[in-house]
Amino acid sequence: MSQEHLSDRIKSMTESATIAMSQLSREMKAQGIDVISLSIGEPDFNTPDEVKQAAKDAIDQNFSKYPPIAGFEDLKQAICTKFKTENSIDYSPSQIIVSTGAKQSIANVILALVNEGDEVLLPAPYWVSYIELIKLAGGIPVEIPSSVENDYKVSAQDIAKAITPKSKLIIYSSPCNPSGSVFTTQELREIADVVLQKEDLYILADEIYEYINFTNNSVSIASFPDVYDRVATVNGVAKGFAMTGWRLGYMGGPAWLVKACNKIQGQITSGTNTIAQKATFEALKMGKNSTLYMKEAFLRRRNLMLDAFKNIPLAKVNVPKGAFYLFPDMCAYFGKKYQNYTINNANDLCLFLLNEAKVALVAGDSFGAPNCVRISYASSDDRLIEAMQRIESALKLLH
């Protein structure tokens, strides 16, 4: 059967740019080429031993039956405790749903809220999957641009200008993937005030990088009482506890929204993997202080990368306050050439660096920032130094 028989929704969906570049670099590695991949958003640490032991114990204790769709009650209670103690948000277990990764949590919320033709506000840059999930739900993405000069953060005024009668949802991440930017308490307060001016406008706050925050400011917008009922707070254990492959995320929000997400999840995946739930319970019991060594390593690597960029004067770089990415504006290289290469855009630049420097990055187009590239520094110091030396040498070839 030919591709023309596929549904319109799947034909209009683009492949994840981060996954596509990761696949390309893996294929080159399989050919024996020494590619340094800085394209994927995955901590290079191992899952903590205590978490792995909890999973082994769960297997021995025969946690092998179907779990409740929204998650085990003890895990939901642990998530409530985490939200209360670390984020100053009061949720009850009926306001929590556990999902197969934070990506499913985000998809659940979008599918539960967005009707055909509804507008979803997307401060740019944004994570690549937001826009495709919005389109899948029949929504209309409305990008709100920013730039490296304003630390890739949109203002409340920018958001206010983008709101129309069709606006239904705003999605943001803080710390942000891909820019590493972190909204301050004041900035989130101003955004909340703007949202409250329109009835039935909701917020999806993606806080998956919460534990990788280099500032002393970590605030959840749902902690503001007046906007509490308008917010879906998404988090998980992938980034903070180096548990990407365990595929567990969770969402806290109004009980009616959680109930709707439970209905969606019940028809798609049902309950999340039982062993991953038991491992996550242990991770949450350990708490954020148990993973400070990861954050400290990421901060050191960020500084190492920023130092390396001093040797690439045409790149414009902000100082990320969290996550593990740099998101330099590389448009000064557009129009430059080397042999058969002409760098017309960020995609061309990434392919040039993959072929000439053997370093895999991701172009910024899919993040809503076509002048930029995303560089993950979730790798060893030695490999990062080597990668930046290769990038610097390759860029010097362009004229």
| Distances in whole angstroms, Cα of residue 178 to Cα of each of 75, 223, 377 | 29, 24, 12
Cα gap 261→266, rounded to integer Å: 8
What pLDDT tens digit does each residue of the chain (399 aa) get?
578 889 988 888 887 777 777 788 888 888 999 999 999 889 999 999 999 999 999 999 999 999 999 999 999 999 999 999 999 999 999 999 999 999 999 999 999 999 999 999 999 999 999 999 999 999 999 999 999 999 999 999 999 999 999 999 999 999 999 999 999 999 999 999 999 999 999 999 999 999 999 998 889 999 999 999 999 999 999 999 999 999 999 999 999 999 999 999 999 999 999 999 999 999 999 999 999 999 999 999 999 999 999 999 999 999 999 999 999 999 999 999 999 999 999 999 999 999 999 999 999 999 999 999 999 999 999 999 999 999 999 999 999
Domain with CATH 3.90.1150.10 in the chain: 3-46+291-395
Long-range contacts of 137-146 (CB under 8 A, 24+ apart): 137/110, 137/111, 138/114, 139/110, 139/114, 139/115, 139/168, 139/169, 140/166, 142/167, 143/368, 145/368, 145/369
Do 54 and 278 touch, CB atoms closer than 8 A? yes
Look-up of token digits 């999957």 = 129
| Distances in whole angstroms, Cα of residue 134 to Cα of each of 13, 121, 191, 295, 345 | 10, 10, 21, 31, 25
Would you state the pLDDT for residue 43?
Answer: 94
Domain with CATH 3.40.640.10 in the chain: 63-286
Residue type at position 87? N
3-state secondary structure of 173: strand
Would you state the pLDDT for residue 322?
Answer: 98
Q: Give the contacts of 166 (CB within 8 A, at least 6 positions apart).
A: 117, 118, 119, 140
CATH fold for the domain made of 3-46+291-395: Aspartate Aminotransferase, domain 1 (3.90.1150)
Q: Give the contacts of 390 (CB within 8 A, at least 6 positions apart).
A: 36, 357, 358, 359
Q: Give the contacts of 395 (CB within 8 A, at least 6 positions apart).
A: 312, 314, 333, 353
Return the CATH number of the domain spanning residue range 63-286.
3.40.640.10
Would you state the pLDDT for residue 1?
Answer: 52
3-state secondary structure of 2: coil
